[in-house]
């Protein structure tokens, strides 16, 4: 275990972290510091009440984590639907769009390209969730 000093809203906290995690913990602490300072600036009544400031910061991060999980769930559902539809015949466009070029139909890339984009987005959201969850622990 390593010891690491971090600065959050002008107060130094000594933290323990696993070997090799110092950079990540430091970056997460910088994120918490930035958010705590933003909240403190917007809520002057918290001046001097570090505990309440940190609670508000944690609630803000928890709210973002919740929203990111909701978004990840929606992306996962969408990806599952795309994977299911990949094996089925694609839906036929409305009669008015059948004779138009593909770009005029609003489909700029194929289902496989869309799946790759969604998979990458889902991975990025999952990584962000893990970072936020690590910061909250």
Q: Write out pLDDT tens, residues 26-74.
A: 999 999 999 999 999 999 888 889 999 999 999 999 999 999 999 998 8
pLDDT (0 to 100) of residue 112: 60
17 beta partners: 2
pLDDT (0 to 100) of residue 125: 73
pLDDT (0 to 100) of residue 97: 55
Helix axes 111-136, 50-86, angle to 10 degrees: 160
In degrees rounded to 5, what are phi and psi of residue 90?
-60, 145
Domain definitions of the chain by residue range: 2-88+108-136
* Rounded Cα distance, 63 and 69, in Å: 10
- What is the tens place of the pLDDT at every residue in 67-99? 999 999 888 888 888 878 776 655 556 655 555
Confidence of residue 115 (pLDDT cuts 50, 70, 90): low
**Model confidence, pTM:** 0.58
* Structure tokens that stand for 112 in this block: 């496989």
């Amino acid at each position: 275990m390593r010891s690491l000093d971090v600065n959050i809203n002008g107060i130094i906290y000594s933290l323990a972290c696993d070997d090799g995690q110092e950079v990540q913990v430091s970056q997460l602490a910088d994120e918490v510091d930035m958010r705590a300072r933003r909240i403190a600036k917007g809520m002057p009544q918290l001046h001097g009440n570090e505990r309440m400031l940190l609670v508000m910061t944690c609630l803000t991060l928890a709210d973002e984590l919740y929203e990111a999980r909701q978004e990840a769930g929606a992306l996962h559902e969408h990806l599952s639907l795309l994977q299911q539809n990949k094996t089925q015949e694609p839906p036929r466009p409305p009669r008015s769009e059948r004779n138009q070029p593909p770009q005029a139909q609003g489909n700029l890339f194929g289902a496989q390209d869309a799946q790759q984009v969604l998979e990458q987005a889902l991975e990025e959201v999952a990584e962000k969730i893990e970072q936020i969850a690590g910061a909250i622990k």
